């Protein structure tokens, strides 16, 4: 253990008074607010997949070409997360929320007005870029207002609410496409963004710790003070072996979810004769409900694990203890669910096969968030002073990996079949959990090898 970890977690320090700036009721309102903002990127992403066939028909394009916009949106999420997180450390969380929303609103209207592939790709990038900071900013806000032993549970609530939106989004997107219009759907998303921007302006406080923002250190501040900040600078944090390792592990685990969901219309849809976009969208619900369940349970579990292992260490805080909460999800639920789904889709037809696949999707969703939620909390814990940037670097790098992986899913299914593609994804998930095991075992040495400004118990 490093010397900086040798103070008991429960010893009262002056630093802890920072977390008393907001009353409990106000903290809950803040969490609800950032959670509903976090729903926006889920709806931007989740409503698009079921509408791909109709967009392709309206714009006279192939499904494969329109699917490029999905990969592009993942890239836009990665870039946007880095940009908004870097500037939030300088200007504050509230200001960056307000800056991002206009991009979302204009981009949503642009998508709705698109008449060509070029315009669709451009406005889809702008739309996704605008809301890309919602997840990293949301976890950082929670890290700003909740103590170490509390934030895992609250981050679980945050991800639970946002991922419940991810469960509903495909159904909403499919139903809107089938019975309304995909264009009107994106107009609605733009209006939602405008409403959120108004609510943030009127009622959302700045949560960053006093004196920590870059703008606070500027002595000669102009009325509109614009400073260039390199958005790629936060990627330097991933030079740390432990931060890079858990990022890679989370990507390998998350790939299983995308392998199940991205080709849904071409696997479960074709196998069980489902052609209605609304019904295909409804097939995403079990996965999202599983995400919701996994986020809530794993958040509280990770806090319990942190406290119990601290007692075993006789008061010494070891950040990697939180990762022990990933075991059940990463070692059993994720690999077994996707392996079973591949075999069921290949060999079991009819209603029984469909029901079993829905069960696999639910279990996979629970397992994925049982891994991802403790990792998200770990990032906030271990680099607390730069939690937005660390989380953005984590999400962006993971998105780049996912973007490349999703481009290979359908070609893999066409070449080797659903069963073998899913088995490969299951093996990757197990490799990811093995990486987490090594990080737990050697975390103190990994952090000591390259120090990127890790938090200690005194400033966490």
- H or E element that contains 84: helix 63-91
pLDDT at 435: 95
pLDDT value at position 212? 67
Q: For residues 393 and 82, what is the distance between their CA atoms, to the nearest angstrom?
A: 6
Domain 22-209+231-459 sits in CATH 1.20.1250.20? yes
Say how far apart CA 335 and CA 318 lie, in whole Å: 28
State the Cα–Cα distance between residues 427 and 193, nearest whole angstrom.
Answer: 39
Q: pTM here?
A: 0.77
Rounded Cα distance between 249 and 354, Å, is 30
Neighbour count for residue 57 (Cβ, 10 Å): 11
Please report, in tens digits, the pLDDT of each residue of the chain (460 residues total): 444 444 444 444 555 677 778 888 889 899 988 988 888 888 888 787 777 777 878 877 776 677 677 777 878 888 888 888 888 877 888 888 898 899 999 999 998 888 888 888 899 899 999 988 888 888 888 888 888 777 778 888 888 888 777 777 777 877 787 778 888 888 999 999 999 999 999 888 888 777 666 666 666 656 666 676 777 778 888 889 999 999 999 999 999 888 888 778 778 888 888 877 678 777 878 888 888 888 888 888 888 888 888 888 887 888 899 999 999 999 999 999 999 999 999 998 888 999 999 999 999 999 998 999 899 889 888 887 777 788 888 888 888 888 788 778 888 888 898 999 999 999 999 999 999 999 999 988 898 888 877 877 666 6
Q: What is the pLDDT, as a whole number, of residue 324? A: 93
Q: Given the structure tokens 């979810």, which residue do they identify?
A: 257
Q: How far is CA 435 from CA 179, 245, 431, 438, in A?
A: 46, 6, 6, 5
Report pLDDT for 86.
81
- Helices 63-91, 117-131: axis angle to 10 degrees equals 30
DSSP string, 395-424: HHHHHHHHHHHHHHHHHHHHHH-HHHHHHH
Spell out the domain ranges in the chain: 22-209+231-459
* Dihedral of alpha carbons 289, 73, 436, 434, sign: positive
């Amino acid at each position: 253990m490093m010397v900086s970890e040798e103070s008991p977690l429960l010893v009262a320090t002056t630093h802890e008074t920072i977390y008393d700036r907001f009353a409990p009721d106000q903290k809950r309102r803040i969490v609800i607010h950032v959670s509903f903002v976090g729903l926006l990127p889920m709806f931007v992403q989740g409503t698009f997949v079921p509408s791909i066939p109709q967009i392709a028909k309206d714009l006279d394009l192939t499904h494969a070409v329109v699917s490029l916009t999905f990969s592009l949106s993942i890239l836009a999420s990665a870039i946007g997360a880095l940009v908004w997180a870097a500037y939030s450390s300088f200007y504050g969380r509230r200001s960056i929320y307000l800056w991002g929303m206009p991009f979302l609103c204009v981009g949503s209207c642009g998508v709705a007005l698109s008449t060509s592939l070029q315009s669709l790709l451009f406005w889809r990038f702008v739309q996704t870029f605008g809301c890309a900071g919602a997840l990293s900013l949301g976890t950082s806000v929670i890290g700003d207002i909740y103590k170490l032993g509390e934030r895992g549970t609250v981050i679980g609530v945050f991800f639970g609410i946002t991922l419940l939106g991810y469960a509903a989004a495909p159904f909403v997107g499919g139903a809107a496409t089938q019975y309304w219009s995909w264009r009107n759907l994106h107009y609605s998303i733009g209006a939602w963004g405008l409403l959120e921007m108004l609510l943030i302006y009127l009622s959302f406080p700045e949560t960053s710790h006093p004196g920590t923002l870059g703008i606070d250190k500027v002595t000669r501040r102009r009325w509109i003070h614009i400073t260039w900040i390199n958005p790629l600078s936060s990627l330097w944090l991933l030079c740390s072996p432990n931060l890079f390792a858990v990022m890679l592990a989370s990507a390998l685990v998350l790939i299983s979810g995308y392998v199940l969901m991205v080709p849904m219309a071409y696997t479960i849809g074709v196998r069980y004769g489902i052609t209605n976009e609304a019904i295909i969208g409804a097939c995403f619900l079990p996965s999202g409900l599983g995400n919701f369940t996994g986020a809530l349970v794993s958040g509280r579990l990770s806090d319990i694990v942190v406290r119990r292992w601290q007692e075993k260490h006789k008061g010494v805080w070891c950040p990697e203890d939180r990762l022990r909460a990933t075991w059940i999800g990463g070692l059993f639920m994720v690999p077994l669910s996707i392996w079973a789904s591949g075999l069921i889709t290949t060999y079991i037809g009819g209603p029984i096969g469909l029901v079993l696949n829905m069960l696999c999707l639910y279990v996979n969703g629970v397992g994925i968030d049982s891994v991802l939620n403790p990792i998200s909390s770990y990032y906030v814990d271990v680099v607390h002073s730069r939690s937005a940037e660390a989380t953005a670097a984590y999400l962006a790098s993971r998105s780049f990996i996912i973007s490349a992986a999703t481009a290979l899913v359908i070609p893999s299914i066409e070449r080797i079949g659903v069963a073998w593609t899913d088995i490969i994804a299951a093996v990757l998930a197990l490799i990811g959990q093995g990486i987490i095991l090594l990080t737990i075992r050697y975390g103190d040495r990994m952090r000591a090898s390259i120090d990127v400004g890790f938090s200690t118990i005194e400033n966490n």
